[in-house]
Amino acid sequence: MNLTTSFQTTFSKRPTLQVRAPGRVNLLGEHVDYNDGPVLPIAIDRAVSVAGMPIEEPVVRLHALDMGEGVAFRFDQISEKIDLEGRPLPGWALYPAGVAWSLLEAGHEVSGVQAAFNSDVPVGAGLSSSAAVEVAFAALWRAMGGWQVDNLGLAQLCQRAENKYVGVSCGLMDQFASACGVEGHALYFDTRSLEWQPLPLPPGTLVVIADSGVRRSLTTSAYNDRRAACERAVELLRAYKPEMRALRDISPPEFAAYSPYLPPEVAKRAEHVVKEITRVGSAVRALQRGDAQIFGALMYAGHASLRDLYEVSTPELDALVEISRDLPGCHGARLTGAGFGGCTIHLVDEAQVDAFMPALERAYQERTGRQAQVYLCRASAGVEVRPAA
């Protein structure tokens, strides 16, 4: 059953608007967005789709096709996170509810709505399914309300929803990529200045995603612990660099001088961030030259740092990266997203990709006993709103 048909079955009316908001995969710059660092994501050709229509009553009525569940809640009870019957909102509903809360807090008009949505972004795979849901609903309410906020501003409102309402201390990258994606391009995004530019992917290469099958939950993972360690590092390093605002503000040589004065675990976490920020700068120059070999080497280095210093990899993610080193046509690979499970990303020669994908699947199953979902991924445009068909 397609989205429009499902909407009609659920609400006995036709939707007026349809929204598509993509997931994202990060090529390089992992765990630096909440440290004011630059990142290199792409929006992907897997997305959340929402069909919706405004209604007069101040109520949100949602139907999640993938879950086979529905829920309704009132705007005047949104801060309580309860439905019309006074029951706690299910976890999946916190994302659209959080967006409504964030928009209302910012003074935007938010109409009552009936909406059905589905997704082909794998949940818990590190491809930002939650950010795609947030951006899709924010764009839906923007279109219904007719208020003027650009896509970057929309991403910031969605980030606030996830930070303050859902309770995940994510940076801005995920929502930014979903909102601002450019077809065929990576997005260089400076999370401090909010300046960004699209950069073409290396000629003759394609991006392959491998889903390890290991799932994680950000809110119950050690994600927030990693962020706290970075903040602690900044506090301690201010004894030597009083002007520091974030780990963005210390160079690798300076960090090497001062890191012995940090607790060992804090030093490891901070070392990853400091060096990863430098890797992003090198990667931008590689993309500007179209140098797939250097870009790929930086991906491998980034994975080793996430494994050994930030400690967010798993044996399954490591296996996917290690296997890819020995397969023809693969320039680089690393885990993508927060880690603790999810996906790896691989930069592969277009001429070799048809052989690469089944070879990676076979070797991964032989090594781990698990089945990986391996698929091509193309850089796509960001959020789009159109009249419902």
**pLDDT value, residue 219:** 47
User: Which amino acid is it at 253?
Assistant: P
Partnered with residue 71 across adjacent β-strands are 62
Using only C-alpha atoms, the chain has a radius of gyration, in whole angstroms, of: 21
**Residue 55 CA from chain centroid, whole number:** 31
Residue 223 lies in a domain: no
**pLDDT value, residue 373:** 93
Residue 294 lies in a domain: no
The residue behind tokens 């050690």 is: 222
Specify the DSSP element, H or E, that contains 196.
Answer: strand 196-200
Query: What is the C-alpha separation between 362 and 340, in angstroms, rounded?
Result: 22
User: Which amino acid is it at 256?
Assistant: A
Partnered with residue 53 across adjacent β-strands are 114
Give the three-state DSSP class for 273: helix
Per-residue pLDDT tens over the stretch 110-132: 999 999 999 988 776 666 789 99
> Ramachandran region of residue 188, left (φ > 0), alpha (ψ -120 to 50) or beta?
beta
Residue 228 lies in a domain: no
Residue 234 lies in a domain: no
**pLDDT value, residue 1:** 63
Which token pair is 63?
Answer: 């139907």
**pLDDT value, residue 161:** 97
User: Any idea what the CATH number is for the domain that residue 136 is in?
Assistant: 3.30.230.10
Interhelix angle 223-237/264-289, rounded to 10 degrees, is 100
Residue 142 lies in a domain: yes
Query: What is the C-alpha separation between 247 and 310, in angstroms, rounded?
Result: 14
Query: What is the C-alpha separation between 14 and 9, in angstroms, rounded?
Result: 9
**Strand 343-349 vs strand 17-28: parallel, antiparallel, or unpaired?**
unpaired
Task: Please confirm, yes or no, whether 326 is among the known catalytic residues.
Answer: no
Phi, psi of 23 (to 5 degrees): -75, -175
Which token pair is 80?
Answer: 């309580």
Which residue is catalytic, options 36, 174, 211, 318?
Answer: 174
Taking only the tens of pLDDT, the chain with its 389 residues reads 689 999 999 999 999 999 999 999 999 999 998 899 999 999 999 999 999 999 999 999 999 999 899 999 999 999 999 999 999 999 999 999 999 999 999 999 999 999 999 998 877 666 678 999 999 999 999 999 999 999 999 999 999 999 999 988 778 999 999 999 999 999 999 999 999 999 999 999 999 999 999 887 554 568 788 999 999 999 999 999 999 999 999 999 999 999 999 999 999 999 999 999 999 999 999 999 999 999 999 999 999 999 999 999 999 999 999 999 999 999 999 999 888 888 999 999 999 999 999 999 999 999 999 999 999 999 999 999 999 97
Structural domain range at position 75: 3-195+381-387
Give the three-state DSSP class for 332: strand
Residue 22 lies in a domain: yes
Residue 229 lies in a domain: no
Per-residue pLDDT tens over the stretch 258-289: 999 999 999 999 999 999 999 999 999 999 99
Total of domains in the chain: 1
* Closest listed residue to residue 353, CA positions, set 327, 334, 372: 327
**pLDDT value, residue 215:** 80
Residue 160 lies in a domain: yes
Query: Which residues, in sequence order, are CB contacts of 96 under 8 Å at separation 6+?
Result: 60, 62, 115, 133, 134, 137
